[in-house]
Structure 1
Amino acid sequence: MEYKFRKASHEDLSHIWEILEQAIKRRKHDGSGQWQDGYPNFAVVQNDIDNGTGYVLADEMTIVAYCAIMVNDEPAYATIEGKWLTDGDFVVYHRVAVSEKYLGRGLAHKLLEHIHGFALQHGIRSVRADTNYDNPAMLKLFEKMGYRYCGEVMFRGTPRKAFEKVLTA
């Protein structure tokens, strides 16, 4: 199956929000506190699209996954209890979610590969991300894809595990 990675549009908003709502419910069902405090919400996704930072993975016309990608734009990463691997430019991504109908097909892995490609296309070799301590699926994905644990960052008063991957061409 060939999936297309592209910038999200306003027409995609309801489909993206449906995917995120599913992911929020899955996190709750798994007993996680992540995404159980009203974040992310519809306005956050709308802001991603308005700012040109929302991206989707699509199967033909069906959106199967979503994430937000920013360059050098994560204030919480300025204060890390630990140390980043690099000091230069970095790509950061948030709000990674895969449609419930497409779970188990390796699409989160594929989405991260596209994020890595995005970074390299912009001449950036550092990719950073974080997740809750109680998100085993994302922690496993980071490990599988060669991310290194760098320390802890705080989001909305909650500690998060921070990771970085240094890309090679």
Structure 2
Amino acid sequence: MELRLMQLSETDIAMNIINGAKKHLKEQGIDQWQKGYPDYDCIKNDAINNKGFFAVDNDKIVGYLCIDFDGEPAYDNLQGSWSSDNSYVVVHRMAISEATRGQNLSSQIFKLVEKMSAEKGINNFRVDTDAANVKMQHILKKNGFIYRGTIWFDNSEKIAFDKQF
């Protein structure tokens, strides 16, 4: 598997993956991503700013995510404490395609993000999710992320995690 930069012309492909994830969250009774975010313009901006990536396995797109090395303003107001004040990578809007869900791809994607980050000299990784999203919390903990507190993002409180690698 590899991470490939999304092209602006592929915004619809990314939105289809995001919309599938929104449906999956709703089916689990999770309110995350149910009020519009992330929308088409958000994903389009990921592409414009070279932050939108596809996870690709054998030339097949299996997931979408935003990889951001510019920081997340919401993280400046953490109710808790980060493990480090060093530069970090943040992943937002990660979604696995419906056809490939349940194949441990999230863990593989996190490893690829870590590799990309290490190549930039960054070994600090932050992420957040909804408190109700226990599946993502399990994935994060399984991949060595540690709960650090709460932030306010997308008009709701999120739980924040980080990891040093």
Task: Report the TM-score, using the length of structure 2 for normalisation.
Answer: 0.96
What percentage of aligned pairs have identical amino acids? 32
Give per-residue Cα distances to partners, 1:61-120, cap 9 Å, x unaligned: 321111101113200000010000001101111001000000111111111111111111
Which position in structure 2 is the counterpart of 1:137?
135
1:133 is paired with a residue whose SS is coil
- Separation of aligned partners in 1, 2:128 and 2:39: 18
- Separation of aligned partners in 2, 1:139 and 1:49: 27
Q: How does 1:74-93 map to 2 (within 5 A)?
A: 74-93=72-91
- Aligned-residue CA RMSD in angstroms? 1.0
- Separation of aligned partners in 1, 2:126 and 2:36: 23
The answer to whether 1:102 aligns with 2:100 is yes
1:18 corresponds to which letter in structure 2? N
Give yes or no for contact 2:68–2:91 (8 Å, CA) kept in 1. yes
1:60, CA displacement in angstroms? 3.4
- Separation of aligned partners in 2, 1:134 and 1:86: 26
Which position in structure 2 is the counterpart of 1:68?
66
Which position in structure 1 is the counterpart of 2:19?
21
After the TM superposition, which parts of structure 1 deviate over 6 Å for at least 4 consecutive aligned residues?
none
Which position in structure 2 is the counterpart of 1:31?
29
Give yes or no for contact 2:92–2:127 (8 Å, CA) kept in 1. yes
Which position in structure 1 is the counterpart of 2:6?
8
Q: Quick check: 103-112 or 42-51, which moved more?
A: 103-112
Give yes or no for contact 1:54–1:69 (8 Å, CA) kept in 2. yes
Q: How many residues align?
A: 165
- Separation of aligned partners in 1, 2:17 and 2:143: 23
Which position in structure 1 is the counterpart of 2:158?
160
1:137, CA displacement in angstroms? 1.2
* Unpaired runs of at least 5, structure 1: none
- Separation of aligned partners in 1, 2:101 and 2:109: 13
Q: 1:153 to 1:104 in 2, by over 3 A?
A: same
Task: Report the TM-score, using the length of structure 1 for normalisation.
Answer: 0.94
Give yes or no for contact 2:37–2:154 (8 Å, CA) kept in 1. no
1:11, CA displacement in angstroms? 3.2
Q: Quick check: 90-99 or 66-75, which moved more?
A: 66-75
Give yes or no for contact 1:16–1:63 (8 Å, CA) kept in 2. no
Give per-residue Cα distances to partners, 1:5-47, cap 9 Å, x unaligned: 1111123222111110000011111101100110001111000
